[in-house]
């Protein structure tokens, strides 16, 4: 059992499922994208910018560009850890780096740099972040720059439920 450290970097965890394995015996590329995107959103939720924000504000983040690098394969049953680092943001965009690690051997398996735009779901148009969202993003950027996440009180690194 992993006991979260009080000032540990926010992350999410999963285990490679058998159905994610392709003909070559490793996790298929499509699941890398899905896992990095899904767990990246769960990390943003820890900072108030995920599903809860979307439901409350009727705004969300639409990915407009993603650059994925496959560095080392993972296989069925491998424990994984996903970490997200905000790189920069402006009035309407957020750029993040999402990293996939083998959680036991601690090697970096893949990275995805992602650019997202803030969208009003009623108009389906890009719109500026509100003051509250900008404040959350600024605090998140500061926490990552300093390495001190304690002031943000994110959830501990959680295991993806098996379904």
Per-residue pLDDT tens, the chain, 163 aa: give them: 344 444 578 899 999 999 999 999 999 999 999 999 999 999 999 889 999 999 999 999 999 999 999 999 999 999 999 999 999 999 999 999 999 999 999 999 999 999 999 999 999 999 999 999 999 999 999 998 988 877 665 545 555 544 4
Distance CA 14, CA 86 (A): 21
Counting the structural domains of the chain, the total is: 1
CATH code (residue 86): 3.10.129.10
Please check whether residue 3 lies inside any domain of the structure.
no
**Angle, CA of 42, 99 and 157, to the nearest 5°:** 45
Asked if residue 107 belongs to a domain, the reply is yes
The secondary structure of residue 107, as a DSSP letter, is -
Residue 152 lies in a domain: no
The residue range of the domain holding 134 is 13-138
Whether residue 154 lies inside any domain: the answer is no
Does 70 reside within a domain?
Answer: yes
Model confidence, pTM:
0.87
């Amino acid at each position: 059992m992993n006991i979260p450290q009080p000032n540990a970097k926010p992350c999410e965890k999963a285990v490679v499922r058998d159905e994610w394995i392709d003909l070559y015996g490793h996790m298929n590329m499509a699941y890398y994208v899905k896992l990095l995107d899904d767990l990246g959103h769960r990390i943003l939720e820890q900072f108030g910018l995920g599903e809860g924000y979307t439901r409350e504000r009727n705004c969300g983040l639409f990915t407009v560009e993603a650059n994925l690098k496959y560095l080392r394969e993972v296989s069925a049953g491998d424990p994984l850890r996903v970490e997200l680092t905000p790189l920069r943001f402006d009035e309407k965009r957020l750029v993040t780096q999402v990293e996939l690690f083998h959680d036991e051997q601690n090697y970096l398996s893949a990275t995805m740099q992602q650019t997202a735009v803030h969208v009003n779901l009623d108009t389906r148009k890009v719109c500026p972040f509100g003051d509250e969202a900008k404040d959350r993003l600024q605090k998140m950027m500061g926490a990552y720059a300093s390495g001190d996440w304690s002031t943000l009180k994110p959830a501990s690194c959680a295991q993806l439920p098996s379904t």
